[in-house]
Amino acid sequence: MSSSNLSRSLLRRVAVPVAVVAAAATTALAGAGTAAAHVSVSSSTATQGGYGVVTLLVPNESDAGAATTKVSIEIPRLKGLRTESVPGWRAVIDKDPKTEEVLRVTWTASDGNAGVKVGEFGEFSIAGGPFPSQPTVNLPAVQTYANGEVVNWNQQAGADGTEPEHPTPSVTLPAGEAGDAHSASHTSTANETEDQSASASDNTARWIGGIGLVLGALGVVVGVGALARRGRAAGKSTSGGDDA
């Protein structure tokens, strides 16, 4: 086989795996952005039938460039609840007038606060309980923008498991002992911060991993190109020796 044919053969063999690697890297990068695109809730302290801190994460997805100025979340009839102080936001707790159980919490941007801008996200935490004695608790939310647009985050996954456009935020609760009323007021927010940092680190690692795959694929292409050039040079040198 001539050097030129050998080079073309090597390039064809490398082209397919390079394309696969590039596609995988693109998927990894896209996944990192999608993971933080919806309103979500998380907790590292709340338990089934117990107390803990739950954090609502609200990114701004406005196509019109409007800021988020109000956020509300439905509460599963907790007997006790406190809201974390968030500068520039006013929290209102709605209760059942008969049972005094908490039904909803609404945060509204105070005067002078532009709200959560496009490309940013807001965090709103509550501490309370006892939470329902079940492994998963849905916490539907409503996001209101400065231009009047309202988004209801209350849709369930499809029968085939497909994610809806505005999924209901839900939190997974581990089994635990109920009745520890003091845990809600004394739980440190350090655990929540660690979870959020871990999530950010995971997204960063996925970005770095995806970039590494792409650079690795490019390195293979460059190496094959260099090999092809050396093959052509060797072919020319051999041809010249035969003519002599």
Q: What is the pTM of this model?
A: 0.61
Q: What does the pLDDT read at residue 30?
A: 39
Q: Which of 92, 73, 102 is nearest to 171 (CA)?
A: 73
The pLDDT score that the predictor gives to residue 217 is 55
Q: How many angstroms separate the CA atoms of 109 and 69, rounded?
A: 5
Please tell me whether residues 56 and 167 are part of one structural domain.
yes
Neighbours of 47 (CB within 10 A): 20
In a domain, 41, yes or no: no
Counting other chains too, the contacts that 217-222 makes at CB distance below 8 Å and 24 or more residues apart are 217/17, 217/18, 217/21, 217/22, 217/25, 220/14, 220/17, 220/18, 221/14, 221/18
**Per-residue pLDDT at 198:** 53
Amino acid at site 83: T
Q: Residue 176 belongs to what domain range?
A: 46-186
Confidence of residue 176 (pLDDT cuts 50, 70, 90): confident
What integer pLDDT is reported at residue 129 of this predicted model?
97
199, part of any domain: no
Same domain? For 27 and 55 the reply is no
* Co-location of 151 and 105 in the same domain: yes
Instruction: Choose between 148 and 158: higher pLDDT.
Output: 148
Average pLDDT, the chain: 76
> By CB neighbour count within 10 A (0-12 exposed, 13-18 middle, 19+ buried), where does 64 fall?
exposed
Q: Which residues have a Cβ under 8 Å from the Cβ of 57 and sit 6 or more positions away?
A: 36, 39, 40, 41, 42, 121, 122, 123
Residue 37 clears pLDDT 80, i.e. is over it: no
Same domain, 161 and 209: no
- Distance in angstroms between the alpha carbons of the first and the last residue of the chain: 22
The residue with greater pLDDT, 3 or 212, is 212
Rounded to 5 degrees, what angle do the CA atoms 95, 144, 158 make?
85
Q: Is residue 39 part of a domain?
A: no
In a domain, 40, yes or no: no
Residues 76 and 170 placed together within one structural domain of the fold? yes
50 shares a domain with 23: no
Mean pLDDT of 195-206: 54
Work out the number of other CB atoms within 10 angstroms of the CB of residue 171: 19
Residue 195's pLDDT is 52
Of the pLDDT bands very low, low, confident and very high (cuts 50, 70, 90), residue 10 is very low
**Mean pLDDT in residue range 159-165:** 89
Percentage of residues in the chain with pLDDT exceeding 70? 57
- Same-domain status, 107 and 11: no
Same domain, yes or no, for 146 and 64? yes
Q: How confident is the model at residue 44 (pLDDT cuts 50, 70, 90)?
A: very high
Same domain as 227, residue 111: no
pLDDT of 108-147, one tens digit each?
999 999 999 999 999 999 999 999 999 999 999 999 999 9
Residue 17 above 90 pLDDT?
Answer: no
What single DSSP character describes residue 67?
P
